[in-house]
Amino acid sequence: MRRSLLIFLFSAVVLLTFALHSVSTLIALLFEDASRDAIPRSEIPAPNSSLVDTRPQLIPKIIHQTYKNATIPQQWRAAQKSCVDLHPDYEYILWTDASSKEFIAKEYPWFLSTFTGYKHNIQRADAIRYFVLAHYGGVYIDLDDGCERKLDPLLSYTAFVRRTVPTGISNDLMGSIPQHPFFLRVMESLQGADRSWVLPYITIMASTGPLFLSVIWKKWLGEHANLDPETWVGRVRVLMPSEYSKHAWSFIKEYKGDSWHGGDARLIFWMGKNWALLTALGFLLAGVVGLAVWWVYSRLLTLGSRKRGAAGASPRMSPFRFVGIPRWMGGGKAQSYELVEQHDA
Ligand SMILES: *[C@@H]1O[C@H](CO)[C@@H](O)[C@H](O)[C@H]1NC(C)=O
Ligand SMILES: *[C@@H]1O[C@H](CO)[C@@H](O)[C@H](O)[C@H]1NC(C)=O
C-alpha cells in the first residue's frame, strides 16, 4: 500500500481512538439523568410557605458573584439587587479581576501561572468560582441571574449544582460547604484540562466551563457508583430545571436580553446556559470538516494514481469501477495499483 495512504489511515485510527476515548465520558453523560441525586420537590418548601425548614443549614450564607471590576453594568443591577435584597442575612462577595488574582496568589500560588495564563477572561471567571466555593463555601450565582426566592432550602445539602437540558450540569448556580471533596477535585483538575481546542468556544467550555465541570461530575459519579448515597460525604445534589427558573417553585429569575448584542459578558452568560447545544454543534462541525478533509484527500490520492497510471503501466480494470463504489471506501483501483507498483519495484 502506498506509504502516504498508510500514514493517513494510521493517523485517522489514532485520532478516532483518541476521540472515542475522550468522547466516552461525553456519551455516558448523555445518558446520565441525575435522578439518583436530584433534589426532590418534596424537600423544598412551597415558595411562600410558612413551613419552617428544620433541616440544619450546612452551606455558609455567602453569595459569590464575579465581574471584571466593581462597576456592574446597568443591565445586571436589577438582577444583582434582587439577590442582595432577598438575602440580608447573607454575606455578599463580588470577585473582580483584581481581587480574584490576589486571592489565588495568596491562597493557591500553585495555580497562579495557569490562572494568569488563560487566554480568555471567561476562563478566569469560571475557575475562580470553583476556588472560592471550595475555600469559603457558599453559593455562586451568575450576574445575570436574579433571585426569585430565598436560597435557604438549598443550604441543607453539602453541595449542589444545577441540571442542564439535554445533558450535564452548569456552573452558573452552584453551592458548596468549604472543602467539599467534589469541588476540591474540580480545582485540582483545572491544570490538566488547560488545553487549547482550536475553537475558542470549545476551549472555554472544555477547559473551565460547563463541559469541563460536567465531565468531572460524570467521572465523579462513576467512581463512587457503589457508595450508599445517604452516607456518601462527596455527594453532589442536583437542582432540576423546574426548581431552577421559570416555574412556580424556582429559585432563579433570569434577566436576559438579546444575547448576541450588548457585550461580551452577555454572550458568555448565554453560551454558558446553552452550552450543551453549542457543544453538540461544535462536534458536528468538527465531524463535517473531518469528513470533508478525508474526501478531498482521497480525491487527491485518486487523481495522483490516475496520473501515474496514465504515465506507467496500464491499470487493470476493476469491476468496482462500474458500480461506482468510491475508491476510498475500498472499491476501485487502489488494490490494482498496489499490484502495479509491486511489479514496478
Ligand atoms: C409569593 O408571594 C409574592 C409576594 O408576596 C408573590 O408575588 C408571589 O407570586 C408568591 N408566589 C407564589 C408561588 O405564590
Ligand atoms: C470598570 O470597567 C468599565 C468598562 O471597562 C469602566 O468603564 C469602569 O470605569 C471601570 N470601573 C472601575 C471602578 O474601574
- What pLDDT is attached to residue 119? 93
- How many residues does the structure list for the chain? 345
Report the share of the chain in percent with pLDDT over 70.
86
The predicted pLDDT at position 141 comes to 96
C-alpha to C-alpha distance for 89 and 195, rounded to whole angstroms? 40
Phi, psi of 93, rounded to the nearest 5 degrees: -125, 120
pLDDT tens, position by position, 246-291: 888 899 988 765 444 456 677 777 777 788 888 788 778 888 888 9
Q: Is 228 or 328 the better-scoring residue by pLDDT?
A: 228
Q: How far is CA 157 from CA 149, 186, 321, in A?
A: 17, 18, 66
Q: Is the pLDDT of residue 315 over 50?
A: no
In the three-class reduction of DSSP (H, G, I as helix; E, B as strand; rest coil), residue 145 is classed as strand
- Pocket of ligand 1 contains residue 248 by CB under 6 Å: yes
Is the pLDDT at 309 greater than 70? The verdict is no
Determine the distance from the C-alpha atom of residue 248 to the mean position of all C-alpha atoms in its chain, rounded to a whole number.
Answer: 28
Q: What is the pLDDT at residue 80?
A: 95
> Residue 188: its pLDDT value, please?
96
Rounded-to-integer distance, Cα 313 and Cα 231, Å: 76
Q: Write the pLDDT tens digit of every residue in 111-169.
A: 999 999 999 999 999 999 999 999 999 999 999 899 999 999 999 999 999 999 888 99
Which pLDDT belongs to residue 187? Answer: 97
Is there an atom of ligand 2 within 6 Å of 69 CB? yes
Mean pLDDT over the full length of the chain: 84
Q: How far apart are CA 110 and CA 191, in angstroms?
A: 10
Q: Provide mean pLDDT across the span 99-122.
A: 96
Q: Which of 3-7, 136-140, 296-300, 339-343 bottoms out in mean pLDDT, i.e. has the lowest?
A: 339-343
Question: What's the confidence (pLDDT) of residue 26?
Answer: 80
State the residue for C-alpha cell 474540580.
186
Task: Take residue 61 and report the three cell numbers written for it.
Answer: 450564607
CA 325 to each of CA 37, 38, 118, 316, 318: distance values in angstroms, whole numbers, following the listed order: 51, 51, 48, 16, 11
Nearest protein CA to atom 11 of ligand 2, as residue: 71
Ramachandran region, residue 129 (left: φ > 0; alpha: ψ -120 to 50; beta: rest)? alpha
Q: Are 174 and 139 in contact (CB under 8 A)?
A: yes
User: What nine digits make up the cell of 219?
Assistant: 467521572
CA–centroid distance, residue 122 to ligand 1 (Å): 35
Ligand 2 centroid to residue 218 C-alpha, Å: 39
Q: Which ligand is nearest to the CA of 264?
A: 2
Pocket test of ligand 2: the residue of 69, 74, 94 to mutate, having most ligand atoms within 8 Å of its CB, is 69
pLDDT score of 50 more than 90: no
Atom of ligand 1 nearest to the CA of 48: 1
Rounded to the nearest whole angstrom, what is the distance from the C-alpha of residue 49 to the centroid of ligand 1? 10
- Ligand 1 contact via 339 beta carbon (within 6 Å): no
State the pLDDT at residue 323: 40
Q: Domains in the chain, ordered, with CATH?
A: 1-31+274-345 (no CATH), 32-265 (3.90.550)
> What pLDDT, in 10s, does the model give residues 322-341?
344 444 444 444 443 333 34
Helix (H, G, I), strand (E, B), or coil: what is residue 165? coil
Q: Select the more confidently predicted residue: 103 or 202.
A: 103
Report d(CA 282, CA 271) in Å as an integer: 12
Whether 304 shows a pLDDT value over 90: the answer reads: no
Closest CA to 250 of 34, 82, 10, 58: 82
pLDDT at 1: 60
31 CA distance to ligand 2 middle (Å): 44
What is the average per-residue pLDDT within 32-58?
87
Question: How many whole angstroms from 148 Cα to the centroid of ligand 1?
Answer: 9
Using alpha carbons, list the distances in angstroms from residue 93 to 26, 65, 70, 83: 34, 6, 11, 12
Using CB atoms within 10 Å of the CB of residue 70, give its burial: 0 to 12 exposed, 13 to 18 middle, 19+ buried: exposed
Judged by DSSP in three states, 342 sits in helix
